[in-house]
Amino acid sequence: MTKRFIKPGDDVDGPLYSIQTDGEMVCASHTKSDYINHWIRTQGEKVNCTYCNKLRNCIELSDLLDLIVVGIDCLFEDPANSRYLNKDSEYGFDGNVFDFYELWHEDRLGLEINNDKLFEDAFKYFNCDQLFVDKDEFGSELEYFEDVWAHFTSIVKYKARYVFHREEEFQNHQFTDPVTILFSIEKSIKNFNLFKTIPANSILYRCRQHEKNAVKNGADMASPPSDCQKVNGRMSPAGISMFYCSQKKALTIQEVVRKSRKDKPYYSTAIFRNNKSLNLVDLSIIPEIPSIYDSDKNHTIAKLLFLKGFSNDISKSINDSDEIIEYIPTQIVTEYIKYNKELKADGIIYNSSKNDKMKNIVLFFDHEQSTENLTFSERSLRTNKWK
């Protein structure tokens, strides 16, 4: 038995619809929802499906309706709770209001039920006269995060690099100041446990492109001295030295060596090993987007969609001519993470812009820190001339 729907205009504690079914059983062959189908296969019992008469793992139709209600709650709401009254509209409310018939027959849940009898049975058992509106009709949580990130990047790239936190100057139309996105990123890192520990003595490959005879030892391959850090990095501006590396040698070469640098026809690779374990923020392990039918996780959909987009944004390929401007937002985020006492991070793992299946690492080690905290393998040093 499924109990859920509130009649239009009822209080929260008002009477609920009680959906009675006749014991029909449903297998995982009749919807396009991967989550629902997985649920049926793992939670069902082997019986004959009412709708295809095949012996398969099935759940009761009432349990399927319970899952569908979760999806409805995730995407839609009662206009009585969120819209102004409008006597001139079809249903008496502002906004795009629709009834359950439209919701179901227009397949606004994306179920793509492929059995007519199941489709009609579910509609019949819901027997719902409630009105609905999209929760995000006038702006979703995802759109909010994207807007705040866009506002942040615009401010730090084109208006203010060092005082962007002054909310009275740089609030957007939603009265949100740019620094808000940094707090949101920090919170998401903690909530989704985006951390990875690299054990002590792990292999870290590093590459450097240079002139002839410029690299002779570990100090030459470590993070550059601050007064020699003349160029912008994806995560660090000129003058601030960090240790860029990877656990894949081929990737370090791919990331560093550019044949357009005619004045530096050589490149060197080497192995470093960390003297102690490293706590890294890992932006490559953002969880998969949950289903709207997953009652435990569907409230995280917007935040995860934003994090996926954010991760892609900081890893995107950028032309050399645009680096100075385009790297500014990621440099600020990196610095915020670096000095965040709550995160206690030694560095960041992020997806490569050269190979989206591989990962880069930046450690918050300048020249002195990289020589103290990392052990250079002299035997690993190799110098080549690119062809």
CA-wise closest residue to 356 among 320, 326, 315, 327: 315
Exposure string of 76-110, with b = 16+ CB inside 10 Å and e = fewer, is: bbbbbeebeeeeeeebebbbebbebeebbeeebbe
User: How far is it, in rounded angstroms, from Cα 360 to Cα 90?
Assistant: 55
Residue 38 confidence (pLDDT): 97
DSSP 3-state assignment of 292?
Answer: coil
Could you tell me the pTM of the whole model?
0.86
Q: Where are the domains of the chain?
A: 2-134, 141-191, 195-385
pLDDT at 92: 86
Residue at token pair 């705040």 = 148
Tell me the backbone φ, ψ of residue 140, rounded to 5 degrees.
-95, 170
Q: Which of 347, 336, 46 is nearest to 180 (CA)?
A: 336
pLDDT in tens, the chain (387 residues): 344 444 444 554 443 445 788 999 999 999 999 999 999 999 999 999 999 999 999 999 999 999 999 999 999 999 988 888 888 888 889 989 999 999 999 999 999 999 999 999 999 998 888 899 999 888 888 888 888 888 889 889 998 888 877 766 666 655 577 788 899 999 999 999 999 999 999 999 999 999 999 999 999 999 999 888 888 889 999 899 999 999 999 999 999 998 888 889 999 999 999 999 999 999 999 999 999 999 999 999 999 999 999 998 888 887 766 677 889 999 999 999 999 999 999 999 999 988 888 999 999 999 999 999 999 999 999 999 987
Q: Is the Cβ–Cβ distance between 86 and 93 less than 8 Å?
A: yes
Helical pair 61-75 and 34-43, crossing angle rounded to 10 deg: 150
User: Measuring CA to CA, which residue among 207, 189, 231 is closest to residue 337?
Assistant: 189
Domain range 195-385, CATH architecture: Alpha-Beta Complex (3.90)
Res 4: pLDDT: 44
- Cα(201)–Cα(368) distance, integer angstroms: 19
Q: How far apart are CA 30 and CA 20, in angstroms?
A: 21
Give the side-chain half-sphere CA count within 13 A for 56. 19
Q: 347-351 and 359-363 as β-strands: parallel, antiparallel, unpaired?
A: antiparallel
Let me know if 22 is exposed, middle or buried by CB neighbors in 10 A (0-12, 13-18, 19+).
exposed
d(CA 193, CA 92) in angstroms, rounded, equals 45
Q: List the one residue out of 23, 314, 304, 39 whose CA is nearest residue 191.
A: 304
Measured over the CA atoms of residue 66, residue 68, residue 73 and residue 78, the dihedral's sign is: negative
Residue 30 CA to residue 114 CA, distance in Å, equals: 5
Predicted local confidence at residue 3, as pLDDT: 41
Q: Are 48 and 272 in contact (CB under 8 A)?
A: no
Look at the block and give the residue holding tokens 């609920």: 16
Task: Tell me which long-range contacts 351-355 makes (C-beta under 8 A, separation of at least 24).
Answer: 351/283, 351/284, 351/311, 351/312, 351/315, 352/246, 352/251, 352/254, 352/255, 352/315, 353/234, 353/255, 353/315, 353/316, 353/317, 353/318, 354/251, 354/254, 354/255, 354/317, 355/251, 355/254
DSSP letter, residue 122: H
